[in-house]
Chains A and B, each alone.
Chain A
Amino acid sequence: MIEGVGLNHFLILSGVVFFLGMYGFLSRRNMITLLMSLELMLNAVNINFVAFNAYLNNDFLQGHFFALFIIGVAAAEAALAIAIIVLLYRKFNSINIEKSNTMKH
């Protein structure tokens, strides 16, 4: 914990970042920027976990480890997502999310 900074400050920070990421995810078209928005959201969640760990339950390190694993999952997810994006680009010559809707047919 940090002297003079309350838990709510962390939560407000992470909340703002999360919803900025959400807005980015919903409003952009390029798949790579979508992926980045996703990373932003995950990062916000990590901040939350760490803050809860530090402020509410500092005897243990659950939040800390959770954040650690989220980073691992994020890495896996990013690797897969980028593979998919590259493949889609090869197939459609575009990485516009609105154009990759052939699954609907």
Chain B
Amino acid sequence: MNWSMTILIPLLPLLSFVVVGLFGPRFGRKISGLIGTFSIVLSAFISLITAFKYFLSSGMDGHYSVIIPFNMEWLRFSDRLHIDMGILLDPISVMMLVVITLISSLVHIYSLGYMKGDVGYERYFSFLSLFTFSMLGLVIATNIFQMYMFWELVGVSSYLLIGHYYDKPSAVAASKKAFIVTRFADLGFLLGILMLSYFTGSFDFQTLTDPDQAAYTQNSGVAFLGLSVVSWALILVFIGGAGKSAMFPLHIWLPDAMEGPTPVSALIHAATMVVAGVYLVARLFPLYLHVAPDALQVVAFTGALTSLFAALIACTQEDIKRVLAYSTMSQLGYMMLALGVSSEINDNLGFTASMFHLFTHAMFKALLFLGAGAVIHAVHSNLMKDMGGLRKLLPLTSLTFLIACLAISGIPPFAGFFSKDEILSAAIASNKWYFAVELLVAGLTAYYMFRLYFRIFWNKQATFSTEIHEAPATMTIPLIVLAALSMIVGFIPFGQYVSWDMSAHHGHINWYLALSSTVVALLGILIAMKRFKGEVNPDATKTGLYRVIENKFYIDEVYVAITRNVIYKRISQPVAWFDRNIVDGAMNGVAWITNATSSRIKSWQSGQLQDYLLAFSAGVVVLFIVLMYLVR
């Protein structure tokens, strides 16, 4: 079978980035937007065709193989050390291709309406294309170094898009924060890559993920702090993934990243880029599972902690985009946990569950963000206190938002129900505590989502200064498409397509668990309904603990305190002193000596022709004497 057209999937957005980036202002707004949108829609079509071909025709015998249509040597350092660029197709990468191109094209279409009238329209579309290209390059990476490179590119384009409103100081600060925090985490990733490649002598995923090779069996002994070298390498890699996926305690950038345009939040900070960390762990999953189960425990614990922690914060936020951001973190925690608890006992259900949740979450979280964007577009505010009673004014947005809320809360038959149920059954097979936490989080999720829903669309009727009307068709069509997808994607028999060993598994719904999680979710919805459907005074309920949670457990403050008191005072200031007095002093000393010398010999350059001739003749005489009578 010929897979060569897959190369178009990343190349089309790249082309669009170059063309729109270079000639955007010349083409004008309309054409730039259309070029960006058209290329990504085309890319989405190719991805869908690829996915159909891959899943329906290639995997008929119940087992999928890894296909590498392209792999060219990109940088060659030595025979053993070379970095390749290529395309790797396996179930999870094909799944990611579909998710990214689909969400990205919907976001592009949505942006055509949402960004209308914005100053940096062409810039926005070119960066959006750059992001899509980088993300596609990331998921189809054949080797970990290619992945790392695109990983950084994704970070850069995220930085550019968060800072889209670069004349707003908060947006600039948020973009810098996102870049620095993720970059800091990427240091761990890079160290992990170097350690893994040092032992295996390869960057290739296929070599890396083979758990039986000598490099792993020889280095499985305890090396440092009770863990083996490979475990440490995988934990470092996971730190990189945790930074991108906003896992505690590297999550602080994600809520601030909401400063970017809302479609960007939908694409990057909900559906695609933030799941890169999950994808990374999934990509190296055989390694985690067989060689370093202890690293997998770290993954599970971090995921569980983050999901609970973020869900709690999400219940208190007032900014609708921040609620969604914390909700994203919480759901990412779910995915990480599912990977972490995946084990042989349960046929590695967790892996499938995690990918399934990634898939469904991308749909309904993008829908939520785009819906929130439509609300913000209409109301011109991010804050819930400025909203209320919008269901009559924005009927379509209200309906799609409700579908998304039901989906994320895990109410059957919406998409979230199926994936969440798989995660819970994977969790209960591994550890009861994780299961309890996740059940609680499921309730919290339903609570905060419906808090959001009721306060935006029900509650007391807010008064608006401008007339509120439904968004244009370019914005509502993606909402409808995503709503439809959120309803149906749950029925995809995901286990048949994506599993850890690339063979088809038959999933089945654990009805007891399904019942319990649905009951918990309904409970959350009921509480939210009771509290927020009617008119409420939100300030009445704020107690001490609420304040702590509302301030995000003061994590940002802790970071500031650590950087200011420890890093700044103890490290930066002495270094600055050393630089100013010792390093600069040496340089200034050199400059001073040069200056003093030159002021001494300056008078030799008198500009007097005769002085020069005098010196010249004296020199000639001396040379003459030396050459004739002394050197001989």
Contacts and interface: CB of A to CB of B under 8 A. Distances in A.
Interface of A: 22, 25-26, 97-98, 101-105
Given A22-B617, A97-B608, A101-B608, 11 more contacts: A25-B613, A26-B610, A26-B614, A26-B617, A97-B609, A97-B610, A101-B606, A103-B607, A104-B605, A104-B606, A105-B607
Contacts of B613: 25-26
Nearest to A22: B617
Contacts of A25: 610, 613
B607 A102 contact: yes
B606 to A, nearest CB: 7
A98 B611 CA distance: 10
Across the A-B interface, give the 6 residue pairs with the lowest CB-CB distance, nearest first.
A101-B607, A104-B607, A26-B610, A104-B605, A97-B609, A103-B607
Interface of B: 605-610, 613-614, 617
B605 to A, nearest CB: 6
Nearest to B610: A26
Nearest to A29: B610
Interface of B is mostly: helix
B608 to A, nearest CB: 6
A26 B611 CA distance: 8
Nearest to B617: A22
Contacts of A97: 608-610
21 contacts: A22-B617, A25-B610, A25-B613, A26-B610, A26-B613, A26-B614, A26-B617, A97-B608, A97-B609, A97-B610, A98-B608, A98-B610, A101-B606, A101-B607, A101-B608, A102-B607, A103-B607, A104-B605, A104-B606, A104-B607, A105-B607
Contacts of A98: 608, 610
A97 B606 CA distance: 12
Contacts of A101: 606-608
A100 B617 CA distance: 21
Contacts of B609: 97
A104 B611 CA distance: 13
Contacts of B610: 25-26, 97-98
A32 to B, nearest CB: 14
A104 to B, nearest CB: 3
Residue from A98, A102, A103, A105 whose CB has the most chain B CB atoms within 10 Å: A98
Contacts of A22: 617
A105 to B, nearest CB: 8
Contacts of B605: 104
Contacts of B614: 26
B291 to A, nearest CB: 75
Contacts of A104: 605-607
A89 B551 CA distance: 83
Contacts of B607: 101-105
B359 to A, nearest CB: 76
B81 to A, nearest CB: 58
Residue from A22, A25, A102, A105 whose CB has the most chain B CB atoms within 10 Å: A25
Contacts of B608: 97-98, 101
Contacts of B606: 101, 104
A41 to B, nearest CB: 11
A98 B608 CA distance: 6
Contacts of A105: 607
A3 to B, nearest CB: 32
Nearest to A101: B607
A103 B611 CA distance: 14
A19 B319 CA distance: 96
A91 B614 CA distance: 26
Contacts of A103: 607
B555 to A, nearest CB: 64
Nearest to A103: B607
A82 B438 CA distance: 100
A105 B614 CA distance: 21
A22 B605 CA distance: 21
A101 B610 CA distance: 11
Nearest to A98: B608
A1 B608 CA distance: 42
A18 to B, nearest CB: 11
A16 B605 CA distance: 31
Contacts of A26: 610, 613-614, 617
A25 B609 CA distance: 10
A67 B609 CA distance: 27
B621 to A, nearest CB: 11
A98 B606 CA distance: 10
A104 B609 CA distance: 11
A104 B604 CA distance: 10
A105 B617 CA distance: 25
A70 B397 CA distance: 99
A103 B617 CA distance: 22
A98 B609 CA distance: 8
A102 B606 CA distance: 10
A35 to B, nearest CB: 12
A38 B614 CA distance: 14
Contacts of A102: 607
A97 B37 CA distance: 76
Nearest to A19: B617
